[in-house]
Amino acid sequence: MWDFSTEPDFETQLQWMREFTRAEVAPLDLVWPHHHHKAPPPWLKKVIDPLKDEVRERGLWACHLGPELGGRGFGQVKLSLMNEIISPFHWGPTIFGVQGPDTGNAEIIAHYGTPEQRHKYLEPLVNGEIFSAFSMT
């Protein structure tokens, strides 16, 4: 039996996420459906950066990463509950700093990258300034 219960404080966060995604994130999917996983032009940054800042202020930015990287280090249950809320929206993961493949690539760079690679790639990736990709042959 899986236990998906959370503490009351986190349930408050989840409720905020539900309201925030309906009011602020869902409209982005309608207005800019194809801009969600690429470096935003300056005019779009003026719209999405304040939303990202709200997420950061709530302590919900890049929660898959540990505190040493600016995240909260939430475990899989909390991340699953968060993803259930934000994933139906194209813009949801981007606004919360948990878009794939960036999440996995950030973890790989954090664990195995050189200090130079972390500075050049990880910092802007975690800050939502760049996006990553992967290739497999």
Asked whether the predicted pLDDT for residue 77 surpasses 80, the reply is yes
Q: pLDDT for 32-71, tens place per residue?
A: 988 878 788 899 999 999 999 999 999 999 888 888 777 7
What is the C-alpha to C-alpha distance for residues 62 and 59, in angstroms, rounded to an integer? 9
Q: Is the pLDDT of residue 101 over 90?
A: no
pLDDT of residue 53: 95
Q: Give pLDDT, residue 130.
A: 86
What is residue 44's predicted lDDT score, i.e. its pLDDT? 93
| pLDDT computed for residue 43 by the predictor | 94
Q: What is the pLDDT of residue 133?
A: 86
The predicted-structure confidence for 15-31, as pLDDT tens digits, reads as follows: 999 999 999 999 999 99
- The residue whose two tokens read 């996983």 is 37
Peptide bond into 50 cis (omega under 30): no
Q: Please give the pLDDT value at position 72.
A: 84
Task: Determine the pLDDT at residue 19.
Answer: 98
DSSP the chain: -------HHHHHHHHHHHHHIIIIIHHHHHH-TT-TTSPPPHHHHHHHHHHHHHHHHTT-TTTTS-GGGTS----HHHHHHHHHHHTTSTTHHHHHT--TTHHHHHHHHHHH--HHHIIIIIHHHHTTSS-------
Confirm if 107 and 64 have CB atoms less than 8 A apart.
yes
What pTM does this model have?
0.85
Identify the burial level of 123 via C-beta atoms within 10 angstroms of its C-beta, where 0-12 means exposed, 13-18 middle and 19 or more buried. middle
Give the tokens for residue 70. Answer: 């600016």
In this predicted model, what pLDDT tens digit does every residue of 102-135 receive, in sequence order? 888 888 898 899 999 999 999 888 888 888 888 8
